[in-house]
A and B are shown apart, each in its own frame.
Chain A
Amino acid sequence: MEKSPADLWRKVRSRYILLGNMCENCGARYFPPRLVCRNCGRNSKMKDLRFKGTGEIYSYTIIRSPPDGFEDLAPYTVALIKLDEGPIVEGHIVDNGKPVQIGTRVRAVLRRIYKEGDEGLIYYQYKFEPV
């Protein structure tokens, strides 16, 4: 899933350090960050919020039929992680020999998510490692 350099760069801080945001008007927390609070609409007051990257597995699957570009990684485990701060985020699970099931505690680490062949860009993002 290729991205232009600009598109990739826009979300680099979210992808590297789980930078999301929160609405100071109602307290709702968001990852990924959004411009408009779901509750407050025009009264949104968004402020940067960095998430710790710790949480637990809410659901998971193992992708065996990958989309273009993910053939070298397949099969890989993708999960929905319920971050300790509340939001649920998608993420690959890093294989470290520990069991993967609903409820497993995880922490975020930086890994390569994709590379555009031999000459294109390399995309890095959080993945989650069972602790």
Chain B
Amino acid sequence: MRDVAIIGVGLTKFGERWESGIKELMAEAGLAALEDANISSKDIDAIYGGSMTPGRFIGQEHVAALMADQLGLGNIPATRVENACASGGTALRQGYMAVASGMHDIVVVGGVEKMTDVSTGEATTALGGAGDQEWELFQGLTFPGLYALMARRHMHEYGTTEEQMAAVAVKNHENAYHNKYAQFHRRITIDDVLNSKMVADPLKLLDCSPITDGAAAIVLAPMDVAKKYNDTPILIAASEQASDTLRLADRESLTSIKAARIASQKAYEHAKVTPKDIDVAEVHDCFTIAEIIAMEDLGFFKKGEAAKAIEEGRTAINGDISVNTSGGLKGCGHPVGATGIKQAVEITWQLRGEAEGRQVAGAEIGLTHNVGGSGATAVVHILKRVN
């Protein structure tokens, strides 16, 4: 298995992109990534595209082929990857495996979701497919509902408070404020979160990531040719993935995502690093409680201690560990299929020193954590700067 590097990244502005359909979003991100890699569209050997449910949002399937088509990539193999909210991270891993194995040389991995053409009720229904449709969604147990069940249990087992959960949203909005690609450029307070409309007790509107349109793309190449394209190629030091039961009710615990623990443990082993070595992380804060649980699953804090640490500001930019510098899913937005790719884009910028207005000083090792559904899939990547 050879080393794989990120040689180019691209992102669209995240938000309610009324003027752009899915094709425009794909092209915008893809083009930006090809520009960044300074590579011709004719040099791409394969594409992996992540999108959770374009079929339900806009009636369009077959989206990886569409990506290849929109970018003029030629008749290359194009593969749609779907793992609910971890579609992007999974696509990244598929691309990584293709290059690492020697099967392909230059690979584009993209992620996209066009969510705003449908009503909130329809979007809630579509997103519910990330869970078990027969026993969770069938009863009107929505995606926020699942995380609310986890939050209630976390509060019961560890004394986590609604104020501590709110602190996650406040931090991520603060970070997003400096990110020109983010959906929100609005600072919020703990009170703003606590006073926002209840969605699924105890999660309020500002505890939940928004509905967002957006796309992200990354160009991968074998490390030994990466320098041809970019002065600061970013090494994918680990790419790990794990799965767990689909139903939340079948899990061993409501307060930890086992798939994330397994994937991250394998990632640390493979990259030969420990949680303390991570300078910057993009984690899956689909809801504020998810970031708290992630901090514990990824080994950054002991079980039951992450909430307090976040509240104390230890995960702010240039804190003990800088978490969700992009604004996370909450502040930057969550176009479902794009998020996993966007996370790696942000880490790449951080490691290259290109994260304008939100740079983590001396960032050398970064981590991305992308989760599908209430935890049935988790994908963890560790990225390293190599010079």
Contacts and interface: CB of A to CB of B under 8 A. Distances in A.
A–B contact with Cβ pairs below 8 Å: the answer is yes
Interface of A: 1, 3, 11, 32, 58-71, 73, 76, 78-80, 87-92, 102, 113-114, 123, 125
> In which size bucket is the chain B interface?
35 or more
Given A67-B121, A68-B121, A90-B139, 14 more contacts: A11-B134, A59-B149, A59-B150, A59-B254, A61-B201, A63-B141, A63-B142, A65-B200, A68-B122, A68-B125, A70-B140, A78-B145, A79-B149, A90-B141
B139 A80 contact: no
A92 B139 CA distance: 8
Given A1-B137, A88-B250, A67 B124 contact: yes
Task: Kindly list the 10 A-B residue pairs having the minimum CB-CB distance in the complex, ordered from nearest.
Answer: A61-B148, A70-B140, A67-B125, A88-B249, A62-B201, A59-B153, A59-B149, A67-B124, A68-B121, A61-B200
Contacts of B120: 65
B247 interface: yes
B42 interface: no
A61 B121 contact: no
Contact of B141 (A11, A58, A68, A78): A78
B225 interface: no
A80 B248 contact: yes
A91 B144 CA distance: 16
Most B CB contacts (10 A, CB to CB) among A62, A65, A114 go to A65
Contacts of A65: 120, 124, 142, 144, 199-200
Most B CB contacts (10 A, CB to CB) among A60, A71, A78 go to A78
Given A88-B249, A89-B249, A67 B137 contact: yes
A36 B151 CA distance: 31
Most A CB contacts (10 A, CB to CB) among B138, B149, B151, B203 go to B138
Nearest to B128: A67
Contact of A80 (B121, B125, B149, B203): B149
Nearest to A66: B140
Given A59-B156, A65-B142, A32 B135 contact: yes
A67 B153 contact: no
B133 interface: yes
Contacts of A113: 138-140
B156 A102 contact: yes
Contacts of B141: 63, 78, 90
Contacts of A80: 149, 248-249, 254
A64 B197 CA distance: 9
A64 B198 contact: yes
B129 to A, nearest CB: 10
A3 B138 contact: yes
14 contacts: A1-B125, A3-B138, A61-B151, A61-B152, A61-B201, A64-B198, A65-B124, A68-B122, A68-B124, A87-B249, A90-B136, A90-B139, A90-B141, A114-B140
A88 B254 CA distance: 11
A78 to B, nearest CB: 5
B119 to A, nearest CB: 8
Contacts of A87: 249
Interface string B33-66: 0000000000000000000000000000000000
A3 B138 CA distance: 9
Given A61-B201, A90-B136, A66 B142 contact: yes
Interface in B204-236: none
Interface string B5-23: 0000000000000000000
Contacts of A11: 134
Contacts of A67: 121, 124-125, 128, 137, 140, 142
B202 to A, nearest CB: 8
A1 B126 CA distance: 10
Most A CB contacts (10 A, CB to CB) among B149, B156, B249 go to B249
Contacts of B197: 64
A91 B249 CA distance: 10
Nearest to B156: A102
Contacts of B121: 66-68, 71
Interface in B151-166: 151-153, 156
A87 B149 CA distance: 16
Most B CB contacts (10 A, CB to CB) among A58, A71, A125 go to A58
A58 B154 CA distance: 11
Contacts of B138: 1, 3, 113-114, 123
A1 B138 CA distance: 6
B139 A91 contact: yes
Contacts of A91: 139
A3 B203 CA distance: 29
Nearest to B208: A65
Given A59-B156, A65-B200, A73 B124 contact: no
